[in-house]
Amino acid sequence: MVRRLVTRGALAGVFLLLVEALYAVFRPSPNLEEFDPSGEFGDPSLPSLRVAVLGDSTVTAPGVSDPDEIWIRLVCRRLSDTFHVELKSFASGGSMTHDLVREQMQPALDFNPDLILVSVGGNDLIKGVSKRAFEDDLNILIAGLSESGAIIVQSGLGDLGTIPRLVPPLRNLISTRSEMFDQIHRAVGARYGTHIVEQRSDSREAWFEDRTLWADDLFHVSARGHERWASVIWPTIESSLSELHGAG
């Protein structure tokens, strides 16, 4: 009897999490435009820097009103103080890591970049990809990109439990998985000598409390959120500049 009750309780818990996940994903929300942040930045007389970005909607940015508000363009404008930057985005909204391997990696390599930014993991986490599968896919991706000889910066993963559409206990589960997936980014990065963004240096409380950081769909981030992302990402980019100068 006790075992039967425990089993029923566990199944009820799983069912509740499934219902919450479906609600978070399919809850009616505004249709937000996505963007291609590709472009050129800076004086053409400066040393050339080719930047490739692979990823998901964190790059295509539903929730902003103009591509210039996207974090990668904000980063490239700062890089343009030193380089003439050619940015090419291969990102597609909704992408998971295996999509980057199949659809984005080879075009990015063909671009012959000096700097590669990889922003991925959120969709894998939310859609229930196992830690093992995520690590396997990420390992294939970073191994392939490493063959280019480019400097690689991985996004890591912040606390997706701060997404306003999520409610407990799903929020708690997503927070726990976020930390695990961030550690996987670090483990894979250590194998290939990449740079990992310190997403968890940012204030978790700010993302909980400041709704202006979030878009109207309460799932993607707003222009203010992208600005905050850029400020978190920049120190990692800056620390790689010595390698970029050396490569140039």
Which structural domains are found in the chain, ordered by start? 35-247 (3.40.50.1110)
Distance, CA of 181 to CA of 200 (rounded, Å): 12
Q: What is the reported pTM?
A: 0.88
- Tell me the C-alpha distance between 73 and 143, whole Å: 26
What pairs with residue 221 in β-bridges?
Answer: 214
SS3 103: helix
Q: How far apart are CA 131 and CA 129, in angstroms?
A: 7
| Residue spans of alpha helices (H) in the chain | 2-26, 57-60, 71-79, 97-99, 105-110, 122-126, 131-146, 170-192, 204-209, 223-239, 241-247
Per-residue pLDDT of the chain (248 residues; tens, 9 = 90+): 545 544 444 433 433 444 455 455 545 457 899 999 999 999 999 999 999 999 999 999 999 999 999 999 999 999 999 999 999 999 999 999 999 999 999 999 999 999 999 999 999 999 999 999 999 999 999 999 999 999 999 999 999 999 999 988 999 999 999 999 999 999 999 999 999 999 989 999 999 999 999 999 999 999 999 999 999 999 999 998 777 655 54
